[in-house]
Structure 1
Amino acid sequence: MASTPGVSATLFNALAKANINIRAIAQGCSEYNITVVLKREDCIRALRAVHSRFYLSRTTIAMGIIGPGLIGATLLDQLRDQAAVLKEEFNIDLRVMGITGSRTMLLSEVGLDLSRWRELLKQKGQVADLEKFTQHVHGNHFIPNTVLVDCTADSNVASCYHDWLRKGIHVITPNKKANSGPLDKYLKLRALQRQSYTHYFYEATVGAGLPIISTLRGLLETGDRILRIEGIFRRVIGTLSYIFNNFTGTRTFSEVVAEAKVAGFTEPDPRDDLSGTDVARK
């Protein structure tokens, strides 16, 4: 635009990241205005995406949480406690539009009251349907950005990432299943993520959420080479340490493993720890 390079690029980038298709473009010769033609149902979402990109309004994000177990419940409580800070200090209006487990899901049109999500899930929960859940969270025409957080260890949920990214949905997950299978599938996910202007974050899969993956990626991008990787994998060490310290012969092995699971030391399926599968995935 006039005297300020990059304004049009910022506009189109905001629309692309909101997964909004542009039908036509017109720009006046003065370069003081630009017009885009969109589908009617995309207009409000496009306006909000552009406003947030130019810092004219808050960035509104529709979020869906999959797996309200130990990790998911902790995340929901953290979001509850940080909601005001995100709005006031970071200008982010984060709305949890749905929570789903393997059997029950809870949906909202405007955003759930996270101070009562456990109670609401019991009282107003409906039969879980992952496809319906995804459509609900992503189908809001008033919110330009959608994020699905997979807090499960379910390979069936991980198999949906490709479709979510293709639809322009951002994915955040500690689930290792999608990244520890065939390499070509992982590479396709990364390529699709770049093509669809989405984010695919999985930092929490190793190192207890420490920025290991992003640090390694940054080193590689600046010319360093990985010669060797050594480490102690916390989850397995935590599981076995708990078992070794508590398996004294007065209780059965299965009782100690069950106790470790309740305490949050193991994977959702402790056999992944005991068999070494979790180490292999990491």
Structure 2
Amino acid sequence: MPETVDAALRAATARLAEASATPRLDAELLMAHILGISRGALLMGRRDTPEPRGFAALVARRVAGEPIAYLTGRRDFWTISLAVGPGVLIPRPDSETLIEAAVDHFASRPPARILDLGTGPGTLLLAALDQWPQANGIGVDASAKALTIARGNAADLGFGARVRFVEGDWAEGIDGPFDLVLCNPPYIGTNEVLAVDVVGHEPAEALFAGIDGLDAYRIVVPQIVRLVAPGGLAALEIGASQREAVSALFAAEGESVTCRRDLAGHDRAILFAR
């Protein structure tokens, strides 16, 4: 007799404990995905029905280190849900710190023109466009695969007429000014050790930036300084130990910055206000 959904969840949680810090959550997300329902519906619904075909295979892939977002094909971020897949950086809650900073900065007036450098699947740009319905934006990325996914996400959200995606090298060839510039560049040092489900699956070019993790900032900081409009804001994601180094790059351009911490209390966003 096949196992029930409830029994399968218990067994999967035990298996996933060896590969994940959130084994029960992972099991529930995978089960909800294969059933075609939300996690909330799974938790509220009857779980004495038979285990669905294919659930065990998904669990095995997760145990092997494949990210949940790649297995389900989606990740929630801010107020939107995004399609993701191999070849693009998976959106993370820490990156919402940049949107929070922008919401505070534009409390009295909305931004009209937004630029997202290293947009990936459109994470920061599409979240900003959802936050400010009258805004338009440009997303730049070096990865054609990421831009294909970003365009699909924009279309799914109904933002196609408000956004343009450009394959390029950061802000090279981009004309400003922009009210809001967002950037989540690679900032991991090449010798740093990452979890298997990150380094074994997510694109290296979206993670690593030279020995000290600062190579991308050396390019984008001078570009950003020239692109921010009067009264505007640039928000750059940083690693938890990079506040001083990235601030020094702005100082070399004659500019000062502030820093915003994420919910865990780590330095997460460098803010340049014009």
Q: TM above 0.5, one fold?
A: no
From the CA coordinates, give the structure whose radius of gyration is larger. Answer: 1
Counting helix residues as a fraction of each chain, which structure ranks higher?
A: 1
TM-score, scaled to structure 1: 0.32
